[in-house]
Amino acid sequence: MTRTEDAAPLETEVLVVGAGPTGLMAALVLARRGVRALVIDSKEGPTRESRALVVHARSMEIYDQLGLTQQVLDGAVPGTGIQIRGDRREFGAIHEKSGATEAEPGSTRRASRINIDQAQEGWTPFPGVQIFEQSRNEELLARTLATEGHPVLWQHGLESLVSDADSPDAGVEAVVTGPDGPLRIRARWCIGADGAGSAVRHQLSLPFEGVTDDATFCVADVHGVTGLPENLLVAQFGNEKFAILFPLGPGGHKRLIWLHGEEHPDQETALTEARTDLGIDYDSVDWFSAYRVHHRIASTFHQGAVFLAGDAAHVHSPLGGQGMNTGLQDAHHLAHLLADVLSGHRSESALARYELERRPVALTLIEWTDQAFGMIARPGRGTAFLRRRARDVMAVLAPRLLSTRLGPYVGGLLGQYRIRYHAVPKGEQPPRWAADPAVGLRLPPTRENAEGLRAMSWQLHTYGTDADRPVAVPDWVEGPFAFSPDPWGRLRRDRLYLVRPDGFVAASFPLHAGAAAVHEVREALQAHDVVG
């Protein structure tokens, strides 16, 4: 059927522009919460290139809430830690023997191993990282959406978007173009998840503030790399360059990421220099790309009825593999928030929490990766000399640090499950219901609470005690559920916890004779814009 601009618009509750991991995650969470969402993308289907690689622990917890964890694990290569290496001229041919990393006889240096999984053990059900490429994330999420009756509208690109910032209740109206001509779509909200060049952000004329680095970032998928462990990420230090290698599968299949320099190189030149300086041998190349690195953030993540998420809202260096994970968590947060408002559980004013909670996460990530980019990855002899000195210190101190009490904290930052949403601005005295260290963090996992979190509902929890249900709590809040004591002591026996659908602890109420103070409960509900 031929479409015309005069035809009646297609109606949906949320229009998601962009079918990358961020947009697909938002649509799937919305669908599971009973919200009609339509995803459009100008591509013909899911991305075929691997692009982003790493799925961190917190993102695995989100996949677990969606019941997709096993499918990720079945297709992923596990990464348990990071090996810190110099090139072969310094370390010799390093190999794995009986689980320990050694140097060849005659070498005086050893490769150092940082065990991420051990630092995260007990704090997340999914310690370490999973190497599960962006293409596989997209394919899994798109397939799940289609199976559940919410297929992506592929080959449909955004042409125009009308949204009144002063009247968000008016919703949005979009015109998209597809194989059958123009199509109008009307929605209550729009999520721009269409990447760094976001058409949604441009339609809103929102600044994308930051810098573009003058160095060129190179990425290659190679086969036949020898002398490297199968299930470790490798930080490789050369005379002038620095690279990170990610395991992609058997046969020495690796993702190689390094900085080339100021010139935009061709594949042969870049790989020849990487081979020479970094001492990395390989047999064949599947894919190569070179691009400039951006460190940018949108001036706002929310304008009227439109929200930005993922790369449309913030971009940064791929060092640390945080980008795709941050986008997945943007989407998870925002989708639950929109579903809460649409269901009448929270007021419209709660939508401001998306920017208040997620933009500081992006700012911190950009600042951290920008500093790491300058100190670790930049080419040049002067920087390389300082980098090698820092490497020697890091090779000794990092494993020791992760074995101390700071290890779980550092592991939580790397896994992104230590992100905290502050109940009050920093520096202000928190109310009693927010004074517990667990408030603002995602609920620490125990053997018993995982199944409850899969319900995607507001809940009351206790750990090691029973509690009365506060009269001020709306009837759609489930619980209280009484769980066994937390063996790690992160959740207190004398508290009643209010948990959001995204798994974050909204409040912790002191208990007296099994009851929480009514005024504290009402104060916490009001602070979270909960509707009684």
User: Where a domain ends, among 252, 276, 294?
Assistant: 294
Cβ neighbours of 36 (radius 10 Å): 15
* pLDDT tens digits for range 467-496: 999 999 999 999 999 999 999 999 999 999
Do residue 363 and residue 221 come from a single domain? no
Cβ neighbours of 506 (radius 10 Å): 23
**HEC letters along 29-74:** HHHHCCCCEEEEECCCCCCCCCCCCEECHHHHHHHHHCCCHHHHHH
CA gap 407, 404 in Å, rounded: 5
Tens of pLDDT, residue by residue, the chain (532 residues): 345 556 788 999 999 999 999 999 999 999 999 999 999 999 999 987 767 889 999 999 999 999 999 999 999 999 988 888 765 544 433 333 323 344 433 333 456 788 889 999 999 999 999 999 999 999 999 999 999 999 999 999 999 999 877 777 789 999 999 999 999 999 999 999 999 999 999 999 999 988 877 778 888 999 999 888 888 999 888 777 788 899 999 999 999 988 777 677 889 988 988 888 888 889 999 889 888 878 899 999 999 999 999 999 999 877 667 889 999 999 999 999 999 999 999 999 999 999 999 999 998 887 776 665 555 655 556 666 666 666 666 666 667 777 788 888 888 988 999 999 998 888 889 999 999 999 999 999 999 999 999 999 999 999 999 999 999 999 999 999 999 999 999 999 999 999 999 999 999 999 999 999 999 999 999 999 999 7
Do residue 223 and residue 363 come from a single domain? no
User: What would the DSSP string read from start to end of 442-470?
Assistant: BPPP-TTTHHHHTT-S-EEEEESS--PPP
Residue 425 belongs to some domain of the structure: no
Q: Which domain holds residue 282?
A: 77-130+210-294
Q: In the numeric block, which tokens belong to residue 351?
A: 């939508």
Do residue 339 and residue 280 come from a single domain? no
CB 323 within 8 A of CB 315: yes
CATH for 465: 3.40.30
Do residue 303 and residue 201 come from a single domain? yes
CA gap 316, 371 in Å, rounded: 11
Which residues are bridge partners to 462 per DSSP?
A: 482
- Please measure the distance between the N-terminal and C-terminal CA atoms of the chain and give it in whole angstroms: 47
Nearest 5°: the CA angle 220, 116, 223 is 25
Q: In the numeric block, which tokens belong to residue 423?
A: 């109940």
Residue 421 belongs to some domain of the structure: no
Do residue 454 and residue 499 come from a single domain? yes
* pLDDT tens digits for range 147-181: 999 999 999 999 999 987 777 778 999 999 999 99
Q: In the numeric block, which tokens belong to residue 11?
A: 């109606």
Residue type, 105: P
User: What would the DSSP string read from start to end of 242-300?
Assistant: EEEEEEEETTTEEEEEEEEESS---HHHHHHHHHHHH----SEEEEEEEEEEEEEEES-
